[in-house]
Amino acid sequence: MSLPPLPDVDFVVPGDTELVSFSVICRPAGVQSVEEFRERVLAGDVDSLLPDEAVLDRVSEQLRGYGFEVLDVPAHLRAGGIDAATHLPVPVVFARGTVGRFRDVFRVELTRMIRRSDDRDLRHEVSAIVLRGRTSLELPTAISDALVVTIPEPPLLAMSSDDVVAGNDVCLSLPDAVAHVTRAEAVHSRWKPGEPREPVRAAVIDTGFAQHRYFEQRAYRITRVAAPDTNQPDVDPRSHGTFVLANLLACAPECDAFGVKFLNIDIAFGTAMLIAGVRVISVSWVFETGSEPVPDWVLTLEFLILVAVKKLGIVVVVGSGNATNETTPARLPYVVAVGGVAVDNAFSLRAWPQSTSFASRRDPARVVPDLCGVASQINLPMAPAGMECREGATSCATPQVAGVAVLLLQKNRRLTAFEVKALLMLGARDVRFGSSFGGHQAGPGPDLATGFGLVDALTSWNLVP
């Protein structure tokens, strides 16, 4: 029997032969509990959390002994012709198996969670098999080195509803108007024709990336890859990943872009961070957090982001969310959290009214957003073909900022992730009008509504040493 439906969520009972993907965080030396692990993640204490490779191998073999398939992300990338990072092992074990096998081994019930959102006539739907009722599971004694097994819920795509469109908002064109408003266009003009640029790889994790004529008409370098638990990265029934990728390329047309299609968010993020040389990862979806502590299933993603930023030097750019309360991964202090700005037909700026803003409950000094991209109307490529004017929301604002991060790294590849974040914030254009969804008012200087303001590629680029 299915669970009672929530307003935007349905639950259905999965079949025993359906596949479920999951992650295993292995127990680091000296860590006694999940709670201790969580506190160290939030404190940014990455070195004490990395497991020994022998432990990872042992857990992998134990899972195989229970009949699960262990997903080898580096091998999956290499099979697709993509170089995989080799200087750091995957810090968690990814696996999958049938619903029946998972239930029998871990003694829990599973359900399929279907999350829907409507954007005018377009319905977005993401689903995942998750633990029924957010229960905890029992770790078999034979998997002695496992600290916790996690299965994430489907995320909230950072899309808007159609009641936020103001009559005087301009519909920006891609790529030109978006590049103009963010001043990425001004940076592009600083490069002389034929002048070599530092090759920078950026990844977008999303619903798929259509082979749209918008991309075909431009000389973009796009590699589409599915995470190892899904397939068909060029199929995007929701159009979300297609137009998110277009916004990144509007600001950084010369980057090497990787579109990573997700099923299980954790596994997709692990795939993106292990693409050799990737320096920027763009995340246009969120999880709304409730009371502290957040559920265990959030822990794997937050841990992977910590490793990506602090050990691999990757700039992780995430949306703050739309019309939500506090969200993760935006709450993490080491990500670049992006809110939204609206642009009217006089090209005046104001806070976009559905942009999520908050001071974190756990650490009030962590305020979100850090800065903003354009969230109001943009003429977006919709899969499989055609263009349509829609609110871009923080889904589009986020990859714009990620694209500007690429421009900074093209000028100086030696910049750290923290230096890129600081340059983005210091160069942002102040937004003094409007209010966010949380009721925070924009005003002179940094504020809760828009952070440091609208991303300004040229000012940040000029600050790069």
Side chain identity, residue 199: P
Provide the CA 38 distance to its chain's centre, in angstroms: 20
- Check: CB of residue 401 under 8 Å from CB of residue 317: yes
2 vs 329, higher pLDDT: 329
User: What pLDDT score does 286 carry?
Assistant: 94
30 pLDDT band, cuts 50/70/90, is confident
pLDDT of 424 strictly over 60: yes
E strand residue ranges, 227-320? 256-261, 278-283, 285-288, 315-319
Task: Report the Cα 234 to chain-centroid distance in Å.
Answer: 18
What pLDDT, on the 0 to 100 scale, is given for residue 6? 47
This prediction has a pTM of 0.94
User: Is 80 exceeded by the pLDDT of residue 168?
Assistant: no
Instruction: For residue 455, give the nearest of 379, 395, 397 by alpha carbon.
Output: 397
Q: What is the DSSP string of 31-63?
A: ---HHHHHHHHHTT--GGGPPPHHHHHHHHHHH
Q: Which residues pair with 301 in a beta bridge?
A: none
* Least confident among 119-128, 144-153, 383-392: 119-128
Q: Is the model's pLDDT at 7 over the cut of 60?
A: no
Confidence band (pLDDT; 50, 70, 90) for 281? very high
User: Rounded distance, CA 56 to CA 73, Å?
Assistant: 14
For the stretch 369-422, pLDDT in tens is 999 999 999 999 998 889 999 999 999 999 999 999 999 999 999 999 999 999
Helix axes of 299-310 and 265-273: crossing angle, nearest 10 degrees = 10
String of DSSP letters for 332-361: STTSEEEEEEEEBTT--EEE-TTB--EE-S
Give mean pLDDT, residues 86-104: 91
pLDDT in tens, 315-371: 999 999 999 999 999 999 999 999 999 998 778 999 999 999 999 998 899 999 999
**Average predicted confidence (pLDDT) for the chain:** 91
84: tokens are 């995989």
How do strand 201-206 and strand 278-283 relate by DSSP bridges? parallel
Domains identified in the chain and CATH numbers: 9-153 (no CATH), 162-463 (3.40.50.200)
